[in-house]
Amino acid sequence: MKKKVSMQDIADSVGVSKVTVSKVLRGKNDVSETMCQKILSEADRLGYVYSKKAAPNGVSKIAVLTAEHFFGGNNCFYVKLYKYLSEALEKMSIDAVLSIVDQFSEENLVIPEKVKNREADGVIIMGQLSRSYVAGLTALQIPLVFLDFYYDGFDVTSINTDNFFNMYEMTNLLIRAGHTKIGFVGNLSYTSSIQDRFLGYCKSLLEHGIPLNRSWLLDDRESNGTYVVAKLPQKMPTAFVCNCDEVAMLFIQNLKEHGYRVPEDVSVTGFDDSGHSLMSVPTITTVHVNLEEMAFLAAKAIVKDIGSKKPKNRILLKGTLVARDSVRALPETSGGCA
């Protein structure tokens, strides 16, 4: 019996990815005409029979909105998250259309035309837009899902890492290593994720009877997301938890420039398990965030919520602590840095 020809067979024969073959066979227009013809010809030669799966709930297109400052510089967290999200939707025969909302559009509530004109069946907001902008979207009565943030007052499904509990665990790790003088690096007004990570840090301190030292709470960025060099306190703690790996890497560089050794003088932790945690010297103890699972759940949620009147959910995914080289256990007699 002759073996059924697959998309992977066509991809291998042409020398492209399976995703590219899928796009061409589904009639998407973001592949060059020359490549389209080559793939279609090879599919015909191999005898491929294409049977398109129906998208669930009749959904064909989802708009993904994110703020411009989440895609700037070396920030690859949301780039990777969008990649997984588009792949998850692709597997459901749904097109993902990305719109990056710049600062002017966010402040002046300029919503993309494709969303206002209902060209998309639903919207996934990735990374947090302002409350007023989200209110403008909800006024359109288009199905929404929040990905990696949440607001109260909106009946919208949100998908988040368990930021509170994971940072609570991370701070506990430092305390078990002998640290009782621990600072926090992050702008508390920037995102709900940073706020929850700060609260997890506070819970750990509270449980261990360690007072919160406000001089050890350092800003890492401006309100528009631009990173700033954190101003070090005169009297240093022995450890800092940072709200993400990129901030932790920059903070380690800042410490070195001021003559501190990491982790010999100051231990530093991050969050997300991004590439920055491995690029840093030393490598950074962090929390691994399962971006692929977050993206899958967001894709599943938006399809489920379209046409549904049921109350929406807040879904939390537990991360995993990853121990690397940026944390040092203190001897019992350590009194910290002067």
Q: What is the mean pLDDT of the chain?
A: 90
**Given pLDDT bands bounded at 50, 70 and 90, which one contains residue 1?**
very low
Fold of domain 163-288: Rossmann fold (3.40.50)
pLDDT of res. 335: 46
Q: Is 106:225 a contact under the CB 8 Å cutoff? A: no
d(CA 74, CA 80): 12
Q: Matching CATH topology for 56-161+290-318 and 163-288? A: yes
d(CA 246, CA 276): 5
Q: List the chain domain ranges.
A: 9-46, 56-161+290-318, 163-288
Four-residue CA torsion sign, 204, 208, 210, 216: negative
Fold of domain 56-161+290-318: Rossmann fold (3.40.50)
**Given pLDDT bands bounded at 50, 70 and 90, which one contains residue 260?**
very high
d(CA 275, CA 73): 14
Q: What is the per-residue pLDDT across 12-43, written as a single tens digit (0 to 9) for each?
A: 999 998 888 877 776 666 778 788 878 888 88
**Would the pLDDT of 237 be above 70?**
yes
Q: Per-residue pLDDT averaged across 189-195, rounded?
A: 93
Which amino acid type is present at position 210?
I
pLDDT of res. 323: 97
d(CA 255, CA 261): 7
